[in-house]
C-alpha cells in the first residue's frame, strides 16, 4: 500500500486524542482529503475507487448538493423548533417514497438514533418492554440499538451480554446459517415460535429488512410476512432497519421491505438520506407517533435542521433526477454477472449475494464446508488498496466483500473493480 508521510503523521495526531474504538480503514490508511463521484483522492494525488461508501449515496462532492447546502447555510441553520419551510418539504418528500400509512416523520441525525427511537416508539405505543430481534445484526451504538446488536464482528461478547428484554431469533442466512437453501423456510417458523413465546411482552420485532450485515442476503421468501403477522397478532409492532439497504441501493426496490412484500409499522432511515451529512429519520403512522406524546419525550435540536432538511430533499431530487436507483439496478446487475463469472475460475468465491449496488462476495476455503476465508479476505482488501480500490470485509466471519459504492457508480468503474479483483485472485494475495 502507498501511504504518504503526511498520512502517518496525521494518524499519530488522530490517535493522540480520538478514542481508539473508532476504526479507520487499513493499518496505514492513505490521507484522503478530496472526493469526486465514486472516487477518493489522497494527498499524493492518487485516485482511488470508493467501493465501500454506502453513506455518500449520490457521490462525493455532488455540485448540486454542495450548492444547496451552501445556499441554506448562508440563509439560516438552526434548531428545529423554528418555523421554516425546509423541514415540511423534506417530510413530504420522504413520506412520498413510502406506503401511504407511513406518513409521520421524526427527524434525527444518525442511524443509531433512528434505530433507538424506533425501538422506544414501539415500546411507547404498545406499553410493553421486550423486543425480538434477529441475530448477527448491527443497529447502532446507543443504548437500545446496542442492546439489539448481536453481530460478533463488532463485539465478541454481543450475545452473552444482552439485557433481559432482548430476545433473539436465528440469523436468517440461507447461505451459511443453520438452515440453507430449500430449508431456509424454517427460519420463519422458528422466529414465529419465539415471538409467540415472548407473547404479550413483545413490543416489536426488529431486523434489517434485507440482511445487510451478512453481506446483502435477501431474507427467505415469505420470512417477513410470517414474522410481521406473528408480531402483530401478539400485539407488537414490525420495525424495519433500512439504514443500510434502503434508499434505492437495491436497484429493484427503493426500500428493502418491498423485496419481502410487506409494510412495516416503523422504519429507521439514515446513511444514504444525507449522502454523508448527518440525516436520519424514523417514519411511522400518525397513531404510533402520537403515542410518543405521552409515552416518551422526543426532541432533536439539529434533526431536521434547515441545512439537514435541504440536504435530505436535494439528495432525493438527485436520486430521482439522475435515476440513481435505475443505475444501481443496471450497473449492479452487470457487476453481479461479472463477479459470478469470477466464481467459475476461482474456487475461493463461495457466493455472490445481493441486489443492485449492495453486493456481497463471500470467500470460502471450501465450497462444501463453507469454511470462511477470513485472513484471505483481509489480504485481498489490502491488495485491492494497492490497485487503487477501497474495499472492506463484513459479516460475523469478516469473509464477505461488502460492495456498496456511491449509487452513481459508472459501468467503467464497476469493470475496473472486477478487473482489479480478478488480478488479485489470479496473482495471489
Ligand atoms: N443500522 C444499521 C443496519 C447500520 O448498518 C448502521 C451503521 N452501520 C446503523 C444502524 C447505525 O448508524 P449510524 O452509524 O449512522 O449511527
Question: Whole-prediction pTM value?
Answer: 0.96
Residue 171 is part of a domain; what is its CATH number? Answer: 3.40.640.10
CA of 75 relative to ligand 1 center, distance in Å: 31
Residue nearest to atom 2 of ligand 1 (CA): 139
- Same domain, yes or no: 68 and 80: yes
Identify the pLDDT of residue 5. 46
CA of 112 relative to ligand 1 center, distance in Å: 6
Asked whether the predicted pLDDT for residue 115 surpasses 80, the reply is yes
pLDDT interval class at 6 (50, 70, 90)? low
CA of 182 relative to ligand 1 center, distance in Å: 31
Distance CA 187, CA 168 (A): 12
Residues 6 or more apart from 82 whose CB is under 8 A from it? none
- Domain final residue, candidates 321, 336, 358: 321
- Same domain, yes or no: 275 and 358: no
Domain that holds residue 23: 5-58+323-427
- Domain final residue, candidates 321, 344, 364: 321
- Same domain, yes or no: 70 and 54: no
Q: Which atom of ligand 1 is nearest to the CA of 270?
A: 15
CA of 152 relative to ligand 1 center, distance in Å: 15
Asked whether the predicted pLDDT for residue 131 surpasses 90, the reply is yes
116 lines ligand 1 (CB under 6 A): no
- Domain final residue, candidates 321, 340, 359: 321
CA of 332 relative to ligand 1 center, distance in Å: 22
- Same domain, yes or no: 263 and 142: yes
Residue nearest to atom 5 of ligand 1 (CA): 244
CA of 118 relative to ligand 1 center, distance in Å: 13
Q: Which atom of ligand 1 is nearest to the CA of 208?
A: 3
Q: Is the dihedral of CA 270, 271, 273, 277 positive or negative?
A: positive
- Same domain, yes or no: 17 and 145: no
392 lines ligand 1 (CB under 6 A): no
278 lines ligand 1 (CB under 6 A): no
138 lines ligand 1 (CB under 6 A): yes
Asked whether the predicted pLDDT for residue 366 surpasses 70, the reply is yes
CA of 402 relative to ligand 1 center, distance in Å: 15
Identify the pLDDT of residue 429. 87
CA of 251 relative to ligand 1 center, distance in Å: 20
111 lines ligand 1 (CB under 6 A): yes
CA of 139 relative to ligand 1 center, distance in Å: 5
Asked whether the predicted pLDDT for residue 1 surpasses 50, the reply is no
- Same domain, yes or no: 289 and 302: yes
Q: Assign 3-class secondary structure to the chain.
A: CCCCHHHHHHHHHHHHHCCCCCCCCCCCCCCEEEEEECEEEECCCCEEEECCCCCCCCCECCHHHHHHHHHHHHHCCCCCCCCCHHHHHHHHHHHHCCCCCCCEEEEECCHHHHHHHHHHHHHHHHCCCEEEEECCCCCCCCHHHHHCCCCCCCCCCCHHHCCCCEEEECCCCCCCCCCCHHHHHHHHHHHHHHHHHHHHHEEEEEEECCECCCCCECCCCCHHHHHHHHHHHCCCEEEEECCCCCCCCCCCCCCHHHHCCCCCCEEEECHHHHCCCCCEEEEECHHHHHHHHHHCCCCCCCCCCHHHHHHHHHHHHHHHHCCHHHHHHHHHHHHHHHHHHHHHHCCCEEEEEEECCEEEEEEECCCCCCCECHHHHHHHHHHHHHCCEECCEECCCCCEEEECCCCCCCHHHHHHHHHHHHHHHHHCC
Residue 47 is part of a domain; what is its CATH number? Answer: 3.90.1150.10
The strand order across the sheet containing 389-390 reads 32-36, 39-42, 47-50, 389-390
- Same domain, yes or no: 102 and 238: yes
- Same domain, yes or no: 266 and 146: yes
Identify the pLDDT of residue 111. 98
CA of 138 relative to ligand 1 center, distance in Å: 7
139 lines ligand 1 (CB under 6 A): yes
List the Cα angle 49/54/58 in 5-degree steps.
80
Asked whether the predicted pLDDT for residue 3 surpasses 60, the reply is no
Identify the pLDDT of residue 15. 87
- Same domain, yes or no: 194 and 85: yes
Asked whether the predicted pLDDT for residue 318 surpasses 50, the reply is yes
Asked whether the predicted pLDDT for residue 78 surpasses 90, the reply is yes
- Say if residues 400 and 393 touch (Cβ distance below 8 Å): yes
241 lines ligand 1 (CB under 6 A): yes
Identify the pLDDT of residue 234. 98
Q: Which atom of ligand 1 is nearest to the CA of 271?
A: 15
- Same domain, yes or no: 137 and 267: yes
Mean pLDDT calculated for residue range 18-37: 87
Interval 84-111: pLDDT, tens? 999 999 999 999 999 999 999 999 999 9
- Same domain, yes or no: 80 and 11: no
Interval 390-424: pLDDT, tens? 999 999 999 999 999 999 999 999 999 999 999 99
Q: What percent of the chain has pLDDT over 90?
A: 88
Q: For the purposes of burial, counting CB atoms within 10 Å of the CB of 301, is it exposed (0-12), middle (13-18) or buried (19 or more)?
A: exposed
115 lines ligand 1 (CB under 6 A): yes
Q: Which atom of ligand 1 is nearest to the CA of 114?
A: 10
202 lines ligand 1 (CB under 6 A): no
Domain count along the chain: 2
Per DSSP bridges, beta strands 349-355 and 358-363 are antiparallel
pLDDT interval class at 7 (50, 70, 90)? low
Interval 238-275: pLDDT, tens? 999 999 999 999 999 999 999 999 999 999 999 999 99
- Same domain, yes or no: 209 and 262: yes
Average pLDDT over the chain, rounded to an integer:
95
Amino acid at each position: 500500500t502507498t501511504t504518504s508521510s503526511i498520512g502517518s503523521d496525521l494518524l499519530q495526531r488522530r490517535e493522540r486524542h480520538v478514542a481508539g474504538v473508532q476504526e479507520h480503514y487499513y493499518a496505514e490508511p492513505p490521507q484522503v482529503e478530496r472526493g469526486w463521484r465514486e472516487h477518493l483522492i489522497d494527498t499524493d494525488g492518487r485516485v482511488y475507487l470508493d467501493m465501500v461508501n454506502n453513506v455518500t449515496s449520490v457521490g462525493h462532492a455532488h455540485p448540486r448538493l454542495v450548492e444547496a447546502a451552501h445556499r441554506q447555510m448562508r440563509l439560516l441553520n438552526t434548531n428545529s423548533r423554528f418555523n421554516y419551510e425546509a423541514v415540511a418539504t423534506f417530510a413530504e418528500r420522504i413520506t412520498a417514497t413510502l406506503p401511504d400509512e407511513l406518513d409521520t416523520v421524526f427527524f434525527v441525525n444518525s442511524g443509531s438514533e433512528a434505530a433507538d427511537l424506533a425501538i422506544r416508539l414501539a415500546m411507547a405505543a404498545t406499553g410493553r418492554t421486550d423486543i425480538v430481534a434477529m441475530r448477527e445484526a448491527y443497529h447502532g451504538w446507543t443504548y437500545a440499538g446496542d442492546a439489539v446488536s448481536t453481530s460478533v464482528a463488532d463485539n465478541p461478547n454481543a450475545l452473552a451480554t444482552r439485557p433481559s428484554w432482548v430476545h433473539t431469533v436465528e440469523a436468517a442466512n440461507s447461505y451459511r446459517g443453520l438452515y440453507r437453501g430449500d430449508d431456509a423456510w424454517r427460519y420463519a417458523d422458528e422466529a414465529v415460535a419465539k415471538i409467540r413465546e415472548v407473547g404479550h411482552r413483545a413490543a416489536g420485532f426488529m431486523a434489517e429488512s434485507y440482511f445487510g450485515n451478512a453481506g446483502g442476503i435477501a431474507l427467505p421468501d415469505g420470512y417477513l410476512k410470517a414474522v410481521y403477522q406473528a408480531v402483530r397478532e401478539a400485539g407488537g409492532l414490525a420495525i424495519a432497519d433500512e439504514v443500510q439497504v434502503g434508499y434505492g441501493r437495491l436497484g429493484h426496490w427503493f426500500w428493502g421491505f418491498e423485496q419481502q412484500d410487506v409494510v412495516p409499522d416503523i422504519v429507521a432511515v439514515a446513511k444514504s438520506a444525507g449522502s454523508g451529512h448527518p440525516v436520519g429519520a424514523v417514519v411511522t403512522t400518525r397513531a404510533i407517533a402520537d403515542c410518543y406524546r405521552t409515552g416518551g419525550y422526543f426532541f432533536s435540536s439539529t434533526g431536521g435542521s434547515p441545512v439537514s432538511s435541504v440536504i435530505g430533499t436535494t439528495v432525493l431530487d438527485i436520486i430521482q433526477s439522475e435515476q440513481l436507483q435505475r443505475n444501481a439496478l443496471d450497473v449492479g446487475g452487470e457487476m453481479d454477472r461479472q463477479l459470478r463469472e469470477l466464481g467459475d475460475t476461482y474456487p475461493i468465491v463461495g457466493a455472490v449475494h445481493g441486489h443492485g449496488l449492495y453486493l456481497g462476495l463471500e470467500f470460502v476455503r471450501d465450497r462444501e464446508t463453507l469454511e470462511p476465508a477470513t485472513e484471505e479476505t483481509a489480504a485481498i482488501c489490502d491488495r485491492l488498496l494497492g490497485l487503487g480500490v477501497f474495499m472492506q470485509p463484513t459479516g460475523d466471519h469478516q469473509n464477505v466483500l461488502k460492495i456498496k459504492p456511491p449509487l452513481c457508480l459508472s459501468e467503467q468503474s464497476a469493470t475496473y473493480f472486477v478487473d482489479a479483483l480478478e488480478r488479485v485472485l489470479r496473482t495471489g494475495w
